[in-house]
Structure 1
Amino acid sequence: MSLSTSASTDNSLKSHQLSAITSLLSSSDSSTNSDPWKILIYDTHTRSIISPLLSVSSLRSLGVTLHLMLHSDRDPIPDVTAVYFVLPTKENLDRIARDCSRNLYKSAKIASCGRMERRTMEEFAGLVVTTGGLGKIETLSDHYVDFVSLEGRLFHLGVKESYCLYNHPSANEEEMNRCMERICTGLFSVVATLGVLPVIRCERGGSAEMVSRRLCKLLEEHPTLRKHAVVGSGQHGSSRPVLVVMDRNVDLVTPLQHVSTYQALVDDVLDHEANRVEFSVSASSDAGNSKAPVRKKLDVDPDSDPFYSRQKFNPFPEAIESNGTELQDVTERESHIRSKTSEGTGGSNLRSDNAPSTDLATAVESLPLLLERKKKLEVHTSILQACMNEIAARDIPQFYELETALATGSYKSDPSKAKQLVKDLVTDPSKGNIDDKVRVIMVYMLAVAAKNADVDEVVQAMKESLETKGLASSSQPSEANTSTATRGVLTKQDRLRLDNGIKAIEYLKKIRSMIPSMNVIQQEDSSSYYGASGTASSDMITSFMARATNQATGLLAKATDRLGNMMGKIHKHRATTIVENIIEMRPNTEDDEYLYLDPRVKGDVDVAALRNVTTRAPVREVIAFMIGGGCYGEYQNLQLVGKKVTYGCTELVDPCTFVDYLAKLV
């Protein structure tokens, strides 16, 4: 068993997990007469864990000469040790036992990414004894790293269709328990990897309480973690992190809303998974000869890419402007260095004084780093262009602006105006694709608590408009969630998306009365803007427009008339408000309703009594976890809390996929 107790350079969850997995792979070299070279065998789940952490070159530096999928056809390599890093399922362990019996490798070291149950271990032991492969197994160990770290403070558990798993009307108790247990063990891995013993706060009832109580019990029964994590912890967790566990049903508006920040927009309008972005671009062609679009795949690491790290939370127009400015600066510096290099090679420039040669050497040394930076900026230029194409074709700022107004209560006292604005937008054939239209209707019905009759009226108007007018042609090659229908004609794919969207709307109509917390109004933060104040925000837009007007060509100029209203005021989403209320222990808020569970205290802690303790230290770190799926918009919004917030979820879901989940529950 492995627990993370050592300090990390940046102390983030991702760095702790990287340290744990590096130790896992390095430990296989420690046995006597062990060959330092090894092969790594993983399953689909553990590959998703390793991919954001270790590149091929990094694996090679750890002695991994080859990495293979567990369930692929593999040739024998009898002189090499195999490290099996897998999820401890029966299917996986059966395959490992089969490999051992076939003598594929010199020896096998089995590392479970999570906890292996005693019964599973006993069954596996019996199997390898029966098949004759026991002699091949050197070690069998648990490593609590069963989660995917995409960034320093962003993780998910890889539980696919998690919202459907526990909300489906036909889900039985056994399926529910299995789902909750899977989430609990994943969260335990997070806590164990960090080497902390958090205070747990959760909503009463439902999935959040089920998971939290199981996790608390698991932590109570784990002496190793308690021993390491108890050092430096104050009474009632005064210096310990707070783990806030929430259910997706507490806010269904956020995962459906259109967004304005760079990273969240990439996830919304392009194919984006595991820090890889994919999109189609028009292929260059000879005159008169059309070519099929080319699929582009680009990797972006928010931790190692300076531009992405700085711009991922910023409004899309700011990212465009910064990309252009930085790229121009790098290009000018590159030209300057190359000109100096060219001058330095001429015989007439040679002097006894070594100053020119020193300058030349410095310039030459800086060129590779400059070219690498330029390469990364050009990657973002391509991504920004792809996003801009989608934004322009679908007029996404119109949806973002209206949804923001609805979500922050601008039309709370005028529901008829809200209905008309939504109706006008979804019946305009030049605005959005079918998913855009469905999403704004769903935000309208949830944020305004619209009557079913009004929702039906808007849906019917949308259907009639699509049947008679269709959709405006997209300027982009076909994407998964982008219609290519010509005006007045709906494709088969469009009709499927429309039917799917209507099913999702019907599901929300059925359940929203049972979950009052769904109808929430997001709170505007009067002190937080993308500028610094209301005036500053307006000035920023004006300045942005002025600079764009001065450019005859380029992405910034093209964006001018499309993106002005995507640089507005920040508003706090439901999860952000909940976390703030809990860590500040504000009375008459969610803090009164959320359970307080402490693995070091028997029974539930009385929140009201704890609030009166005058020596209570402030919370310095928070882990906010969403059961049922999370999104980039929510992750980014939680940074408004002003503390170190690590955001996690059962899975990261883009808005269109979340609509699909809702449709499956009808």
Structure 2
Amino acid sequence: MNVVLAVKQYVSKMIEESGPGMKVLLMDKETTSIVSMVYTQSEILQKEVYLFERIDSTNRETMKHLKAICFLRPTKENVEFLIQELHRPKYGLLFVYFSNVISKSDIKSLAEADEQEVVSEVQEFYGDFIAVSPHVFSLNLLGCAQGRNWNPALLARTTQGLTAVLLSLKKCPMIRYQLSSDMAKRLAESVKQIITKEYELFEFRRTEVPPLLLILDRSDDAITPLLNQWTYQAMVHELLGINNNRIDLSRVPGISKDLKEVVLSAENDEFYTNNMYLNFGEIGTNIKNLMEDFQKKKPKGQQKLESISDMKAFVENYPQFKKMSGTVSKHVTVVGELSRLVSEHHLMEVSEVEQELACQTDHSNALQNVRKLLHDPKVLDLDAVRLVMLYALRYERHSNSSLSSLMEALARRGVSEKYKRLVSAVVEYGGKRIRGSDFVTPKDAVALTKQFFKGLKGIENVYTQHQPLLQDTLDQLIKGKLKDSQYPYLGPNTLRDRPQDIVVFIIGGGTYEEAQTVYNLNRTSPGVRIVLGGTTIHNTKSRGSVGSNLISETQGRPFKPHF
């Protein structure tokens, strides 16, 4: 089960089916993001695709000598754009691929518009999601709920995205959902309805143990998105933001022009692949080793090219050296900026109190530590609010006077009303009244705190005590102990055997901490393959929208492709 490979195979097949010759890839806003997550521009160019265009662009040139590969979402808007294209074709031939199921009426409309018979192919290829890594996908959707109910349009989009994942992985699953969430039940029923309606598409070879789709709700664990993380991928997303594998470094002090935006992709960056789940201390050590290795391979300044063999060796080695130079510059810059932000905003101190709030039960000490950080001018307002949000969730049933005093401290800091309202919003969203389960604490917190955070000067590992609720949920599922009373099956059939292929989907979004949890479970659970998906992947800003839509700047962020 590899969602990146699934989308790559779709794109490769599109290009192969169009035959030899120069081609243009015609996409919409979303499919541009989908393709750019799995292929770089240089890789696509090697397949004779020389031009990338948007179907909604008004200034595309007529190039009859080119074939056009159209990869589009099956929306009414895209169908209309395609009809306009067919009335006045700009390309010699059109190979049309929709990323999901398209209605027969839309196919009929396209056939009637193709008076010049330029359409050579129409197919459905189900790459209708963002493949973040082999075991993680996202739909890049925020604000899915209206109160505690689905936004109807986003329920439909989520259903399409999730069924596309199942079709691309060739899975017709049994479905379980979180009983405490009406949204989870609605999505489960919506997916089941599509599977029933399009039963011919889901007629895959039966396996001895049927695959399983588990639908969860973010409100059952509002804690995890509120915590700072200390692994490379999670830290980058928390502190800098990962948007379709792209990192905006334009605000980094003294940044060079060519590093203002960089790409971190596990598919094309070996250092990132090997380090994305390592902790920050280990990253520092590995960056040092990378730089030392680079220095050894760096051509000497006075190197003389006296013979043909010297020249040949230089030409052969230079591209590899150039690539390594870019890798070193990129990661040194990223890690350097992470270090600066951690130090400047006292994030280690903030993280220690976060972990204490999430995992310990000493109310008096926690309250004192939160108050102390609220008076620290180096702590960002959003981090200060987040500490109060965690306190409000963790000690919801304690005296209101303590929370009131923390809210007063936020007011004295000059924190905006928009941010302060997040405290009550997160309790309304994921408080005790809503949660189907209680907080998850480490199985052996004492043992964990005796470990040392490598590379951080012997500081006790208080930064990684927390385990997301997903860890326990999947552990129980794999062991066959997940309670049907809390996570019922949709329909009369139940799974009697140990599950093997599991797709987990979190309404309200996942996190990179949970992605790491799934990565580790896949490594340590022989015979079990898990893919994690969510409506989005949260970071420092977007987690402010957990339980509310108050941070408007996180809504509808633009997609940016690799190319």
Q: What's the TM-score once normalised by structure 2's chain length? A: 0.86
| Residue 655 of structure 1: aligned partner | 540
String of CA shifts for 1:511-552, please: whole Å, max 9, x gaps.
4557431773223144999xxx765x33x64x7538xxxxxx
Counterpart in 1 of 2:131? 149
Alignment of 1:446-595 (within 5 A): 446-451=393-398, 452-464=400-412, 466-467=413-414, 498-512=416-430, 515-517=433-435, 520-526=438-444, 537-538=451-452, 541=454, 545=457, 564=459, 568-586=463-481, 589-595=482-488
**Structure 1 equivalent of residue 119 of structure 2:** 137
What residue in structure 1 maps to residue 99 of structure 2?
113
- CA deviation after TM superposition for structure 1 residue 27, in Å: 1.2
CA contact (8 A) 1:266 1:272 kept: yes
Q: Which amino acid aligns with 1:653?
A: H
| 1:74 Cα deviation after fit | 0.9
Q: Distance between the aligned counterparts of 1:71 and 1:630, measured in 2?
A: 31
Aligned equivalents of 2:483, 2:367: Cα separation in 1: 30
1:71/1:448 CA distance change after superposition, 3 Å: same
Of 165, 172, 179, the match for 1:190: 165
> Offset of 1:628 from its aligned partner?
1.3
How far apart, CA to CA, are the structure 1 residues paired with 2:473 and 2:132? 24
Q: What does residue 397 of structure 1 align with?
A: 348
Q: Distance in 1 between matches of 2:51 and 2:431?
A: 54
Provide the residue aligned with 2:69 in structure 1.
Answer: 83
Corresponding residue number in structure 1 for 2:17: 27
Q: By how many angstroms is 1:377 displaced?
A: 2.7
**Residues in 1 aligned to 2:539 and 2:463: alpha-carbon distance in whole angstroms:** 22
Task: Quote the offset at 1:505 in angstroms.
Answer: 1.4
Deviations 1:168-195 (A, max 9, x none): 37x6xxx644322221221111111111
Larger fraction in helix: 1
CA shift, 1:165, in A, is 2.6
- Look up the match of 1:334: 297
CA distance in 2, matches of 1:329, 1:64: 36
Query: Out of 277, 292, 307, which is 1:313 matched to?
Result: 277
Greater relative contact order structure (CA < 8 Å, 6+ sep): 2
Matches within 5 A, 1:291-310: 296-310=260-274
The whole-number CA distance in structure 2 between the counterparts of 1:574 and 1:78 is 56
Which structure has the bigger radius of gyration? 1
Cα deviation code 1:341-367 (max 9, x no counterpart): 959969xxxxxxxxxx99x99999667
- CA, structure 1 residues 620+518, in 2 after alignment: closer, same or farther (shift >3 Å)? closer
Which ranges in structure 2 are unaligned for 5 or more consecutive residues? 552-563
1:283 aligns with 2:201: no
Q: What is the CA–CA distance in structure 2 between the aligned matches of 1:87 and 1:388, rounded to whole Å?
A: 41
The CA deviation at 1:225 is 4.5
Mapped contact 2:215–2:506 kept (Cα < 8 A): yes
The aligned counterpart of 2:36 is: 51
Question: Residue 183 of structure 1: SS of its match in structure 2?
Answer: helix
Partner of 1:74: 60
Specify the alignment match of 1:418 in structure 2: 366
Structure 2 match to 1:596: 489
1:166-181 correspondence to structure 2 within 5 Å = 166-168=145-147, 176-181=151-156
TM-score (norm 1): 0.74
Q: Secondary structure at the match of 1:144?
A: coil
Alignment match, 2:385: 438
> What SS is found at the alignment partner of 2:229?
coil
The residue that corresponds to 1:378 in the other structure is 329
Task: Report the alpha carbon displacement of residue 326 of structure 1 after superposing the two structures with TM.
Answer: 2.6
Say what the alpha-carbon RMSD is for the aligned residues: 3.2
Q: Give the 3 Å change call, closer, same or farther, for CA 443–567 of structure 1 in structure 2.
A: closer
SS in 1 for 2:442: strand
- For 1:654, what is the secondary structure of its paired residue? coil
Q: Match of 1:201, as an amino acid?
A: R
| Offset of residue 419 of structure 1 | 2.1
| 2:182 corresponds to 1:200 | no
Is structure 2 residue 211 aligned with structure 1 residue 218? no
Distance 1:135 1:377, change over 3 A: same
> For residue 250 of structure 1, what is the aligned residue in structure 2?
220
Separation of aligned partners in 1, 2:469 and 2:457: 32
2:537 aligns to what SS in structure 1? coil
* Alpha-carbon contact 2:239-2:540 (below 8 Å) kept: no
- Name the CA distance, whole Å, in 2 between partners of 1:544 and 1:593: 41
Note the C-alpha offset of 1:228: 2.8
1:614-629 aligned within 5 A: 616=497, 618-629=498-509
Distance 1:55 1:507 in 2: 40
Preserved CA contact (<8 Å) 1:277 1:300: yes
Give the C-alpha shift of residue 26 in structure 1: 1.7
Alignment CA distance shift 1:640-1:526 (3 Å): farther
Of 319-328 and 275-284, deviating more is 275-284
8 Å contact kept, 1:283–1:293: no
Within the alignment, does 1:605 sit opposite 2:493 as a pair? yes
What is the alpha-carbon distance in structure 1 between the residues aligned to residue 193 and residue 82 of structure 2?
Answer: 32
1:446: how far off?
1.3
Q: 2: CA distance between counterparts of 1:606 and 1:46? A: 36
Contact 1:253 1:407 survives alignment (8 Å):
yes
Asked whether 1:263 is paired with 2:239, we answer no
Q: Do the aligned partners of residues 75 and 363 (structure 1) sit closer, same or farther apart at CA in structure 2, a change above 3 Å counting?
A: closer
Query: Deviation per CA, 1:561-613, whole angstroms, max 9, x where unpaired?
Result: xxx46675453211121111112112xx545421224xxxxx32357xx4xxx
Which amino acid letter does the alignment assign opposite residue 378 of structure 1?
A: S
| Separation (CA, whole Å) in 2 of partners of 1:216 and 1:62 | 38
Q: Kindly tell me: are residues 371 and 138 of structure 1, through their superposed partners in 2, closer, same or farther at Cα, counting changes over 3 Å?
A: closer
Q: Is the CA contact 2:6–2:127 (under 8 Å) kept in the aligned structure 1?
A: no
> 1:281-314 CA deviation, whole Å, 9 max, x = no partner?
3338xxxxxxx99971111112332221121111
Q: Report the AA paired with residue 650 of structure 1.
A: T
- For the Cα contact (< 8 Å) 1:578–1:590, is it kept in 2? no
The answer on whether the counterparts of 1:197 and 1:229 sit within 8 Å (CA) in structure 2 is no
Q: Give, in angstroms, the shift of residue 212 of structure 1.
A: 1.7
The question of whether the paired residues in 2 share the 8 Å contact of 1:524 and 1:569 is answered with: no
Contact 1:327 / 1:374 at 8 angstroms: preserved in 2? no
Deviation at 1:384, TM superposition (A): 0.3
DSSP 3-state at the match of 2:175: strand
Q: What SS class does the counterpart of residue 277 from structure 1 fall into?
A: strand
* Residues 146 and 293 of structure 1, relative CA distance in 2, 3 Å threshold: closer
> Matches of 1:660 and 1:312 in 2, distance apart?
25
**Structure 1 CA distance, aligned partners of 2:61 and 2:319?**
40
Greater shift after overlay, 624-633 or 652-661? 652-661
Once the two structures are superposed, residues 2-32 of structure 1 have per-residue CA deviations (whole angstroms, 9 ceiling, x without a partner) of xxxxxxxxx5221122011210222122xxx
Task: Answer yes or no: is the 8 Å Cα contact 1:581–1:591 preserved in 2.
Answer: no
Greater displacement, 292-301 / 88-97: 292-301
Distance in 2 between residues matched to 1:527 and 1:90, nearest whole Å = 53
